[in-house]
Amino acid sequence: MTTTESACGPTDTPTDIDIPAIREKYAAERAKRLRPEGASQYLELDGDFAEFYEVDPYTTVTERDPIVEDADVVILGGGFAGLLAGAYLKKAGVTGIRVIEMAGDFGGVWYWNRFPGIQCDNDAYCYIPLLEELDFMPSKKFADGAEIFAHCRNIGKHFGLYDGALFSTQVRELRWDDASSRWQITTDRGDDIRARFVVMAQGSYNRPKLPDIPGIKDFTGHVFHSARWDYEYTGGDADGGLVKLADKRVALVGTGATGIQLVPHLGRDAKELFVFQRTPSSVDQRSNPPTDPDWASSLQPGWQEERKRNFHNWSPFVGVVFGEPDLVCDFWTELGRNLTARIAASEDPAAVTIEQIMAFREEEDYKIMERLRRRVDEIVEDPDTAEALKPYYRFMCKRPTSSEHYLATFNRPNVTLVDVSASKGVERLTKRGIVADGVEYAVDCVIFASGFEISTEISRRYAIESITGRDGLSLFEYWQDNYKTLHGMTSRGFPNQFFMGFIQGGVSANTTAMFEQQAQHIAYLIAEAQNRGATTVEPSQDAQDNWVHTVRELAIDNSAFELSCTPGYYNNEGRGGAEGNGSFLGDFYSPGFYAFGDLIEQWRAKGDLDGLELRG
């Protein structure tokens, strides 16, 4: 069976499990890793650490004269969010678009992340946007990073976004000027751009982070972050072949989604590899054959939207589906399949209560995670290593992963797993290596696969020194305690400014679907403002207050689940929520992603821009 076939039923999971005992084990594993600092245990990448963020290893920055101009629309960010914003603006007839991007090209996360083994870790037929419009079909279910990066560039070409792109440029400050009704944008290249509209599209995985390890500047060997891979040092490319590591002892810090893809290549090519793990990932099987050409040729127009909706319905965000096949059929949708089958097997499925559904869901969750722990025992030969690699937490406490090679890599004699859960992380770096549990591991190179700024303060995530709206209002202060928006995309006091990302809108397991939904709505707002001759557009106070009230009134309290999880970015390192801004998903619209899409589509269909104030 190929990955594109849809015949898919519930997965066989263990039934001989002691759930109360496992629940206690989960709590103990969480407590062992919990640190009081929360997200502040990570360094902000400025000053002495700016090189881990600001240096571009892939594009040589060439000098240019500063740009002084007026622009109609400026999009900040050239990843999928910015590309989709630009695409939908062009579709809406908006011209005069400039994209400002600190990287040397479009692509965002797929520009920066070029580490060995990088692939999409969810269904590429859903994740990669605009497949039908650009007549592109991924070569396999989990597409390689280079293929996705190439598609990003093709989006830029297809919609003419390169013409107005400023690459290798960082925005330093945004300031609203009431006299000119424009945003004044200053950059690190000395630019002075006065934009009528600004779209904030920096994405969710914009800025790498480093653990604040004592002595991190003392190490005299080579150091880099996985999002700034140094092939000059390692040799090889994204397909592997890291020949320059053959005589090197390498330390990898981090075992999240990136680490799972990296470890097989590092283990194969390095003289020695030490993998420093605080919390293991769940690692399922990964079947990834080429796309079936017969399946691809059979697809009808609209197939991608159908598949995206199907994935969302079967994903952990929804998870109970009757009368619809699971088209994606992988580890992301397993819980939904098993839960649906469990309900269907009840004496009277129609009579099952929400309380029973939640109880069934928890039980199926425990069974899946136990299956994954037993998979570790089947693959990893050393019992102590196997035990350390077992994930003791609920499904979706940590981003689920899949790999056919990760676990087996720990059977190699040159690969050592260093479990740092007891010390809640690496203790310190020395001139010659890393210390964990009092043991120094001498290494030549330290690679940080430690993730991105996702649940830290909003000022750190946006990586802009200041954003100042009307009457000197700071966005960072305005949003410090809670988001305040209309539909998650506009805020009062910040006219002509639009936001993309996890704020106060719909949330999907397929992030690019969320960006596309937001891009379409923002393009409509900007086009309507221009068509109606409005100088400024922003939400009224009442409309914003009503939306904030709606989101919070409908909110589902996930705090108990979040606080039961082992520390990670999903739960702000065990503290729950982001730093003052809800969860890492924002204050999302809990009735659902497509329910939110219907809501804003109906709002647009009315045509009266209800809740917005337009000034000519």
Query: What pLDDT band is residue 577 in, cutting at 50, 70 and 90?
Result: low
Mean pLDDT over 283-290 rounds to: 94
Please say whether the beta carbons of 472 and 488 come within 8 A: no
CA–CA distance, 342 with 340 (Å, rounded to integer) = 5
Least-confidence region, from 45-54, 394-403, 516-525? 45-54
The pair of structure tokens assigned to 19 is: 């759930």
Helix, strand, coil proportions of the chain in percent (round to 5)? Answer: 35, 15, 45
Give the residue among 504, 522, 531, 518 at the shortest CA–CA distance from 585.
504
Mean pLDDT over 121-143 rounds to: 97
What pLDDT is attached to residue 3?
A: 35
Mean pLDDT over 460-487 rounds to: 92
Q: Which residues are paired to 416 by β-bridges? A: 274
Least-confidence region, from 318-327, 383-392, 409-418, 525-534? 318-327
Please say whether the beta carbons of 497 and 503 come within 8 A: no
Residue-range domains of the chain with CATH = 64-207+454-553+585-615 (3.50.50.60)
The pair of structure tokens assigned to 35 is: 């640190």
For 401, residues 6+ apart whose C-beta sits below 8 A from its C-beta are 121, 256, 257, 260, 281, 282, 283, 284
What pLDDT is attached to residue 563?
A: 81
What pLDDT is attached to residue 568?
A: 81
CA–CA distance, 291 with 376 (Å, rounded to integer) = 28
Specify the pairing of strand 536-539 against strand 612-615.
antiparallel
Q: Which residues are paired to 435 by β-bridges? A: 428, 440
Mean pLDDT over 110-124 rounds to: 96
Higher pLDDT, 72 or 319: 72
For 552, residues 6+ apart whose C-beta sits below 8 A from its C-beta are 587
Count the neighbouring beta carbons within 10 Å of the beta carbon of residue 586.
20
What pLDDT is attached to residue 5?
A: 38
Mean pLDDT over 216-222 rounds to: 95
User: What is the chain's mean pLDDT, rounded?
Assistant: 93
The pair of structure tokens assigned to 144 is: 């390689």
Mean pLDDT over 74-98 rounds to: 97
Give Cα 102 distance to the centre of its chain.
18
What percent of the chain is modeled with pLDDT above 70? 97
What pLDDT is attached to residue 583?
A: 67
CA–CA distance, 578 with 545 (Å, rounded to integer) = 21
- The type of residue at 244 is K
- In degrees, to the nearest 5, what angle opens at C-alpha 494 toward C-alphas 488 and 496? 85
- Residue with tokens 């519930």, as numbered in its chain: 10
Query: What pLDDT band is residue 1 in, cutting at 50, 70 and 90?
Result: very low
> In terms of C-beta distances under 8 Å and separation of at least 24 residues, what long-range contacts does 312-319 make, across chains too?
312/508, 312/509, 312/510, 312/513, 312/593, 312/594, 315/508, 315/509, 315/510, 316/395, 316/396, 316/509, 317/507, 317/508, 317/509, 317/592, 317/593, 318/592, 319/361
Give the residue among 188, 183, 187, 201 at the shortest CA–CA distance from 469.
183
Least-confidence region, from 241-245, 300-304, 396-400, 605-609? 396-400
What pLDDT is attached to residue 52?
A: 86
CA–CA distance, 303 with 126 (Å, rounded to integer) = 10
Is residue 347 predicted with pLDDT exceeding 60?
yes
Count the neighbouring beta carbons within 10 Å of the beta carbon of residue 348.
6
Is residue 588 predicted with pLDDT exceeding 80?
yes
What pLDDT is attached to residue 578?
A: 52
CA–CA distance, 33 with 568 (Å, rounded to integer) = 10
Backbone dihedral angles phi then psi of residue 107, each to the nearest 5 degrees: 135, -30
Q: Give 192-214 pLDDT, tens digit per residue.
A: 999 999 999 987 677 888 888 99
